[in-house]
């Protein structure tokens, strides 16, 4: 196991004040085009697994905590332990969560409001260079290849209330590799060791999404075997992967759709937004691709929130 790049101050943590990120009240409506239900599928799809204990009674909408940034640590796998901080192969999650906690305490002590940074592992490809970590900042819209020694500075900047894309680029110019995220990024909770419902639904929905996105004309990363629609004229690309715990396992399958805020998507109603859906089944995927990804319409019956 490698040595953490951050000091382990377990005694100090025990004495640290508890920091609570307040949930903002969510409106009962969303300022985006909305349809009530998902259109029925017009083509074949995988069957829904039987005997999964999915909660169909509690309200979905408002079941997520707002966040300022979603930081993906790309690991190339999805066999994470129940707590990703305990994964000795990818210690970055533990390091980054500890650093975020430290920055939150500093902000709280200075009278500020801590920024909520959501940290998850993803199954997107890992870097072969062991001295760097592949990170995606989904709200900022940047892919980063970060040298290990620069990760604490990254967290410090992300915790700043006035952080923005340009300030990150300026700070790290020449130090790390930075690329704009131009893909639609779709993530499904597939954290088997945390909850078997997502462990079952995650890979199933991942394959369904890859197929339906390709059929919808999108170039799907890692899915060259799937043929795109011959009538498609779009040159848009997407990534479809699994992520670790995002909350709401009782609402499996849980899907997050991030629409990039780029020139190509400037007229998309959801550009720069993350749409969280719950209780997603294979029969919903065609409708999600058509209505939400392509046309920017929110499906109310599946909606957990928009960030």
Residue at 95 is within a domain: yes
Tally of domains within the chain: 2
DSSP string covering 164-231, please?
Answer: -HHHHHHHHTTTSEEEE--SEEEEEE--TTT-HHHHHHHHHHHHHHHHHHHHTTPEETT-TTSPPPTT
Domain interval for residue 124? 68-138+142-180
Residue at 21 is within a domain: no
**Virtual CA dihedral for 111, 21, 30, 210, nearest 10 degrees?**
130
95-122 mean pLDDT: 81
pLDDT of residue 158: 82
Write the burial class of residue 101 (CB in 10 Å: 0-12 exposed, 13-18 middle, 19+ buried). middle
CATH for 210: 3.40.30.10
The answer to whether 206 touches 240, Cβ cutoff 8 Å, is yes
What confidence tier does 4 reach under pLDDT thresholds 50, 70, 90? very low
Domain boundary among 158, 180, 202: 180
Residue at 16 is within a domain: no
Query: Are 60 and 186 part of one and the same domain?
Result: yes
Query: Are 124 and 82 part of one and the same domain?
Result: yes
Query: Are 174 and 188 part of one and the same domain?
Result: no
Q: What is the pLDDT of residues 226-264, one digit of tens each?
A: 344 444 445 689 999 999 999 999 999 999 999 999 999
pTM attached to this predicted model: 0.85
Q: What is the pLDDT of residues 169-190, one digit of tens each?
A: 888 888 889 999 999 999 999 9
Write the burial class of residue 131 (CB in 10 Å: 0-12 exposed, 13-18 middle, 19+ buried). exposed
Which residue do the tokens 């479809």 mark?
240
Query: Are 255 and 110 part of one and the same domain?
Result: no
Q: What is the pLDDT of residues 57-101, one digit of tens each?
A: 999 999 999 999 999 999 999 999 999 999 988 888 888 888 888
Residue at 110 is within a domain: yes
pLDDT of residue 168: 86
Q: What is the pLDDT of residues 25-49, one digit of tens each?
A: 344 467 899 999 999 999 899 999 9
**Does 222 have pLDDT greater than 80?**
no
Q: What is d(CA 76, CA 60) in angstroms, rounded to the nearest whole number?
A: 30
pLDDT of residue 79: 96
More reliable by pLDDT, 115 or 235: 115
């Amino acid at each position: 196991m490698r040595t953490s790049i951050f000091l382990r101050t377990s005694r100090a943590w025990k004495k640290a004040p508890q920091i609570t990120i307040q949930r903002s009240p969510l409106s009962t409506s969303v300022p985006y085009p909305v349809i009530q239900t998902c259109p029925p599928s017009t083509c074949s799809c995988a069957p829904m697994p039987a005997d999964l204990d999915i909660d169909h009674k509690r309200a979905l909408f408002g079941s997520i905590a707002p966040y300022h940034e979603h930081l993906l640590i790309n690991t190339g796998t999805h066999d994470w332990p129940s707590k990703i901080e305990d994964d000795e192969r990818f210690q970055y999650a533990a390091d980054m969560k500890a650093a975020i906690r430290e920055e939150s305490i500093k902000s709280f002590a200075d009278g500020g409001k801590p920024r909520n940074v959501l940290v998850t592992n993803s199954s997107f490809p890992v870097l072969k260079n062991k001295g760097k970590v592949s990170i995606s900042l989904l709200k900022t819209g940047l892919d980063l290849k970060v040298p290990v020694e620069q990760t604490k500075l990254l967290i410090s900047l992300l915790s700043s209330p006035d952080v923005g894309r340009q300030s990150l680029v300026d700070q790290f110019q020449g130090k790390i590799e930075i690329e704009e995220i131009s893909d639609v990024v779709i993530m499904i909770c597939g954290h088997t060791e945390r909850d078997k419902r997502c462990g079952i639904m995650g890979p199933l929905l991942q394959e369904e999404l890859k197929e339906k996105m390709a059929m919808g004309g999108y170039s799907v990363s890692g899915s060259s075997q799937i043929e795109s629609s011959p009538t498609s004229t779009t040159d848009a690309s997407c990534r479809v992967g699994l992520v670790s715990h995002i909350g709401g396992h009782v609402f499996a399958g849980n899907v997050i759709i991030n629409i990039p805020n780029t020139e190509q998507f400037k007229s998309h109603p959801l550009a720069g937004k993350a749409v969280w859906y719950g209780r997603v089944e294979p029969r919903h995927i065609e409708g999600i691709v058509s209505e939400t990804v392509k046309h920017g319409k929110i499906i109310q019956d599946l909606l957990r929130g928009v960030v």
